[in-house]
């Protein structure tokens, strides 16, 4: 009989009942060191005391009104994000995919309102991931996401990640926008070099094509800047965020410049829950906690420490690991053996990592993880690697 929960996930066997910082505790009280943080979501760790307080205080006041009325917490979060980013305005959602849908609609509406309604194509890159809606699977265009779900949405042009000539050739006057993850996440932790991001920005400036950054995974402090595109010294026109901004409370947003957002007038887009008081109370506290020079400096320091340790690990276990890549606390270990075998061996050491494309295991810890915990994690990875070598 089909399970009561639609079986679209292949789940590991653990069942967790409690979280504390970088630790998840299962039914039997066994503690697992969490290097996944709920897929780069719990960036301030599980059950962060200040966020728990903010959420429960809001829960005693008001949960939900819908966007028929003003939501002060939403306006407060918007002001904070506006202050901290390139954006002039933003639309709040409950998830990453909804933030991406808003970004795609916004880009098409922009050209419609500018009197070029035929300018609808959107350029995307191979290996990218933008969510699971029909629009975003059509955007990412990989067979893994789209097979059996056709007909797909027309108007997407999929190019090789980093193929500059193909990109330049494709940027004609049918193109509304280009969508890029500054660091591909699901694709296997592939950072786009700063020079490529700058080149893309220049091309967009030359052609008028809108630049959309998908920072749903790499944003909100993950790479050691508040947003990953900041490393390249550029700004997009539109940006989708989610994951880390809610630390586990469902929250996303589509941020934009005033010009890029100019088509999105009253009645053109909406969401019942998007930006509700509970979500925005948490999001606002997350911004306060993460977007400080001290916090981000600490992320960079720990990232350097982890990177060095992982380089050593990879060098010491060439039959298990091939390379380490990524940026900040967004790291991929490309495996020699099947990544699922490595992940299972880590489970045996009570260490949680996440599979990614290109046979990678992803390391996306809470940004609050301590250096001691990172050292502990690498020791567990080492033990797992030794057992895999002995078993193989
Ligand atoms: C997770 C993710 C999404 C989709 O977010 P959901 O909240 O699962 O809808 C989109 N883009 C990127 C880069 C992601 O990592």
Q: Would you say the CB of residue 181 lies under 6 angstroms from ligand 1?
A: yes
d(CA 352, CA 377): 9
Q: Which of 184, 190, 242 gets mutated to test ligand 1 (max ligand atoms within 8 A of its CB)?
A: 242
Q: Would you say the CB of residue 242 lies under 6 angstroms from ligand 1?
A: yes
The pLDDT, as a whole number, for residue 164 is: 86
Which atom belonging to ligand 1 lies closest to the Cα atom of 215? 13
Q: Would you say the CB of residue 214 lies under 6 angstroms from ligand 1?
A: yes
Question: Ligand 1 centroid to 319 CA: how many Å?
Answer: 32
Q: How confident is the model at residue 194 (pLDDT cuts 50, 70, 90)?
A: very high
Share of the chain above pLDDT 90, in %: 98
Q: Would you say the CB of residue 130 lies under 6 angstroms from ligand 1?
A: yes
> How does pLDDT run across 175-186, given as a tens digit for each residue?
999 999 999 999
Question: Ligand 1 centroid to 217 CA: how many Å?
Answer: 7
Residue 345 DSSP class: H
Q: Would you say the CB of residue 121 lies under 6 angstroms from ligand 1?
A: no
Which atom belonging to ligand 1 lies closest to the Cα atom of 250? 7
What's the whole-number mean pLDDT along residues 75-98? 98
> How does pLDDT run across 359-370, given as a tens digit for each residue?
999 999 999 999
The pLDDT, as a whole number, for residue 163 is: 86
- Label residue 24 left, alpha or beta by phi (over 0 means left) and psi (-120 to 50 means alpha): beta
How many CB atoms are located within 10 Å of the residue 130 CB? Answer: 27
To the nearest whole number, what is the mean pLDDT of the chain? 97
Q: What are phi and psi of 60, to 5 degrees?
A: -85, -10
What's the whole-number mean pLDDT along residues 112-120? 98
Q: Would you say the CB of residue 190 lies under 6 angstroms from ligand 1?
A: no
Burial class (CB in 10 A: 0-12, 13-18, 19+), 27: exposed
Structure tokens at 204: 């967009």
Listed in sequence order, the DSSP H helices in 208-292 are: 277-290
Q: Would you say the CB of residue 129 lies under 6 angstroms from ligand 1?
A: yes
The pLDDT, as a whole number, for residue 369 is: 98
Question: Ligand 1 centroid to 373 CA: how many Å?
Answer: 27
Rg of the chain over Cα atoms, rounded to whole angstroms, equals: 21
> How does pLDDT run across 141-170, given as a tens digit for each residue?
999 999 999 999 999 999 998 788 999 999
The pLDDT, as a whole number, for residue 161 is: 82
Share of the chain above pLDDT 70, in %: 100
d(CA 245, CA 40): 10
Q: Collapsing DSSP states into helix, strand and coil, what is residue 322?
A: strand
CB 123 within 8 A of CB 177: yes
Residue 65 DSSP class: -
Q: Would you say the CB of residue 95 lies under 6 angstroms from ligand 1?
A: yes
Question: Ligand 1 centroid to 75 CA: how many Å?
Answer: 24
What's the whole-number mean pLDDT along residues 123-150? 97
Question: Ligand 1 centroid to 218 CA: how many Å?
Answer: 10
Q: Would you say the CB of residue 241 lies under 6 angstroms from ligand 1?
A: no
What's the whole-number mean pLDDT along residues 175-199? 97
Helix (H) / strand (E) element for 110: namely helix 96-113
CA-closest residue to ligand 1 atom 6: 96
What's the whole-number mean pLDDT along residues 211-219? 98
Q: Which of 36, 96, 140, 183 gets mutated to test ligand 1 (max ligand atoms within 8 A of its CB)?
A: 96
The pLDDT, as a whole number, for residue 112 is: 98
Residue 392 has pLDDT above 80, yes or no: no
The pLDDT, as a whole number, for residue 162 is: 79
């Amino acid at each position: 009989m089909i399970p009561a929960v639609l079986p679209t996930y292949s789940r590991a066997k653990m069942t967790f009942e409690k979280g504390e910082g970088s630790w998840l505790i299962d039914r039997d009280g066994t503690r697992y060191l969490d290097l996944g943080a709920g897929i780069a979501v719990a960036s301030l760790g599980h059950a962060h005391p200040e966020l728990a307080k903010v959420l429960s205080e809001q829960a005693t006041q008001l949960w939900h009104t819908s966007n028929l009325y003003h939501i002060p917490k939403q306006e407060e979060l918007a002001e904070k994000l506006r202050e901290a980013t390139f954006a002039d305005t933003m639309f709040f959602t409950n998830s990453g995919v909804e933030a991406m849908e808003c970004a795609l609609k916004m880009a098409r509406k922009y050209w419609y309102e500018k009197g070029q309604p035929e300018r609808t194509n959107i350029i995307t890159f191979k290996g990218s991931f933008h969510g699971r809606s029909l629009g975003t699977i059509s955007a990412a265009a990989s067979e893994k996401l789209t097979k059996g779900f056709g007909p797909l949405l027309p108007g997407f042009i999929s190019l090789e990640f980093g193929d500059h000539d193909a990109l330049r050739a494709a940027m004609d006057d049918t193109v509304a926008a280009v969508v890029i993850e500054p660091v591909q996440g699901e694709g296997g932790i592939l950072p786009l070099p700063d020079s490529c991001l700058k080149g893309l920005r220049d091309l967009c400036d030359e052609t008028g094509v809108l630049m959309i950054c998908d920072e749903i995974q790499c944003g909100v402090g993950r790479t050691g800047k508040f947003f990953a595109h900041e490393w390249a010294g550029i700004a997009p026109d539109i940006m989708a965020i989610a994951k880390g901004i809610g630390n586990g409370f469902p929250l996303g947003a589509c941020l934009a410049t005033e010009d890029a957002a100019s088509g999105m007038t009253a009645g053109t887009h909406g969401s019942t829950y998007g930006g509700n008081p509970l979500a925005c109370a948490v999001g606002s506290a997350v911004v306060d906690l993460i977007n400080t020079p001290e916090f981000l400096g600490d992320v960079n320091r720990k990232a350097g420490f982890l990177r060095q340790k992982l380089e050593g690990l990879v060098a010491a276990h060439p039959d298990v690991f091939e390379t380490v890549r990524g940026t900040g606390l967004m790291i991929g270990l490309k495996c020699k053996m099947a990544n699922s075998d490595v992940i299972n061996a880590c489970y045996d050491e009570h260490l949680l990592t996440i599979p990614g494309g290109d046979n990678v295991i992803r390391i996306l810890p809470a940004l609050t993880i301590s250096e001691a915990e990172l050292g502990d994690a690498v020791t567990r990875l080492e033990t797992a690697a030794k057992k895999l070598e002995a078993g193989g």
